[in-house]
Chain A
Amino acid sequence: MSTTNASSEAPLEGGRRGLRRRRPAAGTPAAAARDRRRSKQRRRLANIAGLLAALVLTGVGYSALAPGASAADDATGNPSNAVEAGRELYTRSCITCHGSNLQGVQDRGPSLIGVGEAAVYFQVHTGRMPLVRQEAQAPERPPVFSEEEIDQLMAYIQENGGGPTLPSGDLRDGDLAEGGELFRLNCAQCHNFTGMGGALSSGKRAPSLMEADDLTIYAAMLSGPENMPVFGDNQLTPDEKRSIITYVQTIKAAADPGGAGIGRVGPVAEGLVMWTVGVGALLFGIFWMGTKAP
């Protein structure tokens, strides 16, 4: 069997299987070299020749693959194209902490195998990743990557290990009141009943939901970023997730019927208003009414 045959077939069948088949193809000259065990000199030469042959074959294989990829550029949404672009982005911005095989790096970043595109969407879309520095928790920032680049990264991570995927369609079609009940049961412990967020230990915190869009909330529930637990579809069904999103977004948009919301943080802000505005105004009033000199 000829090695050129195998490598020429590989690109037609797609990248991954092609790569698998090239390995025995590269090994063939090495097998031939086994027969020529005469002297060290000859063996070395044979090894070099084998290596060269392998390199040439890889090169040929790649050149055969590359035109195929560029040709697919016209047809948008080709997964292999997005995966490839995602890999490029990953290698440039993520590999330092998450490792060359998504396996993670000790004390730097966790493994990304199996986190799925939901985790990528949440982390990258909210600007939490790429991380600026190691601290208690990645803060929310303007995203570094464009929507298209985020899609490419999502495709790359999804391709390598799979994991939870993003939902499609309207996420606000759930039941409002049921969503409220589920929110108070599952989310309010950390995010506060008004979604204002709350402090966790050692500088970590559950962020405010005021800026979060539907998909971000959904992705967070699916992927459980940072300290947040994962709410898989067996814990909160997709319908229940949609109900929670409906509740959060409705409450956020709702006007405060009682007047100024003072941050909706409850008694701390109310006490502050009482002692500054209330007592302040009354002290002003009695200064006005009474004499000042004792």
Chain B
Amino acid sequence: MATTTTTAPGQPTTLVGKAALEVDDRLIVAGPVRRTLNKVFPDHWSFLLGEIALYAFVVLLLSGTYLTFFYDATMTEVTYQGSYAAMRGIEMSAAFESSLDISFDVRGGLLIRQMHHWAALLFVAAICVHLLRIFFTGAFRRPRETNWFIGVALLVLAMLEGFAGYTLPDDLLSGTGLRIFSAVFLSIPVIGTWVYFTVFGGDFPGELIIGRLYILHVLIIPAILLALIALHLLILVKQKHTQFPGAGRTEHNVVGNRLFPTFAGKATALFFIVFGLCAALGGLVQINPFWLFGPYNPAQVSAGSQPDWYIGFVDGGSRIFPPWEIVLWGYHIPPVLWGALGIPGVMFTLLALYPIIERKLTGDTASHHLLQRPRDVPVRTSLGMMAITAYVVLWISGGNDVIAEKFDISLNAMTWFGRIGFLVLPPIAYWITYRICLGLERHDREVLEHGIETGVIRRLPSGEFIEVHQPLGPVDEHGHGQLAYGGASVPKKMNQVGGARRAIKGFFSPIEEPAEVQRQAELEARGLESEQASRELTGSGRPSEGGRPSEGGRPQQEPRD
């Protein structure tokens, strides 16, 4: 017995192998690790969007930890005596003073702070782009609704986290934002005042809010974010990835690269790209220069005070909402409630419930692992574009004073653009998107039926000119393709089916399979006629015009090209 185990073929001989065996003997992890390392990731670019958000979060954790070493989250009044001359002798909160110190006196402080802020903008932006990919491809459908809810929760939490962080320097810009936030609390009917005093612990701004936001920003929200991200990924691993439909892709498999080594290499590279971008922006582009804004003072306010981009739509909603004061049962409902809480509330509720809404509308309760292309679900795609249009109008309205000033437009005109645009543009976007979806889908069907346009014009014996089409598969007696519409990508150019006789490398367009093109070229070089014949182009396919049904509609001669 003992001799057979020592001579087993799997016995490690290298030092690493022996060490791994020692670990496995104790923890028994070889099985799960092998399964994990063999997990297959689809390699389409759009599957990397969520990862950008993940890596931005990692950058945020790293840079944020450094900032906590120097930041002082108290609102004690101090007199600045640091190295920034334009503030020397000014009274400010300790929070603002420590922010100035981070920017001007801490080694690397300004770079890290700017990296942190840029990474925060990127984090929310990447979440949004990722969300759009999930939405437009139907990846949220059963069984993935749970992960959709978690994703929406992550987005809302990321926005709150960002807002809390934006407020921490306690500068004039963020203090104005906090003042608006306090007004939003106060605008809630019945409980508004109580909510406000609970949050601020006294009159505005009090001495507590920065400390409370700090704990929210560095502990509570990041902890929830981290837990939800972990859950998000665990569910992803358990449910496996979705994938776009295509050759060899079914509801029961995932086509792509294994986690190790290909995907791990790509993921590491992407992490460094994200980190590099944040570092480059942090070092080269100034963000939130609060030393120009000054310490917060409730008596002061500046023109052009804006929140960071992800809160911009809330600001925009407040700016364009008409000044309607509503009194219900003796309770006064100020217009700020509709703009600042009503619009985002409706937006996020609809967003979170969309999988359920769609399931109810379509009656589709089946499990789906193959994605849909946006053109194949025109109603959903158009609804999405409609929502994006409304969001962008709110977003533009959030910065309408800056746009008005820079482009010499009347601010009143910008406000009315926002009001009218919010109502009129989304339906227009719906209609345009719907038509584009139908047009793209019809073109796919047309190519499946009639083949790819080759650009080769032939003159028939009758004098008629026709363009030669390359069918994608076998054709019937009328020359029509037999391939069914499957919601997969359809090649539209001869190059995509090897027509160029060499591999086409593209950045934005698909890369051909170089191996297949190479093989074809070698066969042609050896003069194998059978291979040659299978690549011939066809005519109109009509039997009366030279195409014989028995030959699958192929003309006898090879067309000149």
Contacts and interface: CB of A to CB of B under 8 A. Distances in A.
B287 A268 contact: no
Nearest to B43: A291
5 contacts: A184-B297, A188-B172, A278-B122, A278-B125, A294-B245
Contacts of A262: 285-286
Given A273-B281, A291-B43, A206 B300 contact: no
Contact of B294 (A193, A270, A286): A193
B147 to A, nearest CB: 20
Given A180-B86, A271-B309, A291 B121 contact: no
Nearest to A186: B300
Contacts of A128: none
B300 A184 contact: yes
A264 B289 contact: yes
B510 A291 contact: yes
B301 A188 contact: yes
B286 A258 contact: yes
Interface of A: 136, 176-178, 180-181, 184-185, 188-194, 196-203, 205-206, 247, 250-251, 254, 256-262, 264-268, 270-271, 273-275, 277-279, 281-282, 285-294
A269 B251 CA distance: 44
B410 interface: yes
A51 B172 CA distance: 71
Contacts of A277: 281, 285
A170 B129 CA distance: 54
A177 B303 contact: no
Contact of B308 (A177, A205, A206, A270): A270
Given A268-B399, A270-B287, A289 B411 contact: no
Nearest to A267: B306
A250 B88 CA distance: 14
Interface in B38-68: 43-49, 52
B488 to A, nearest CB: 7
Given A193-B294, A205-B405, A289-B266, A282 B286 contact: no
Interface residues of B, number: 84
Contacts of A192: 302-304
Contacts of A264: 286, 289, 292
A287 B508 CA distance: 7
A250 B301 CA distance: 21
B507 A287 contact: yes
Given A291-B43, A291-B511, A275 B307 contact: no
Given A201-B412, A282-B273, A266 B306 contact: yes
Nearest to A205: B405
Given A185-B299, A287-B45, A292 B277 contact: no
Given A275-B125, A292-B511, A256 B286 contact: yes
A294 B373 contact: yes
Contact of A259 (B270, B286, B293): B286
A257 B507 CA distance: 37
Contacts of B9: none
A190 B305 CA distance: 11
A278 B118 contact: yes
A185 B301 CA distance: 8
A267 B307 CA distance: 6
Nearest to A288: B507
A202 B412 contact: yes
A180 B90 contact: yes
A258 B287 contact: yes
A193 B297 CA distance: 13
A278 B121 contact: yes
Contacts of A288: 507
B173, B301, B402 interface centre (most CB from chain A within 10 Å): B402
B402 A268 contact: yes
Nearest to A207: B405
Contacts of A268: 304, 306, 309, 312, 399, 402-403
A261 B121 CA distance: 17
Interface string B7-46: 0000000000000000000000000000000000001111
Contacts of A177: 85-90
Contacts of B508: 287, 292
A257 B292 contact: no
B44 A259 contact: no
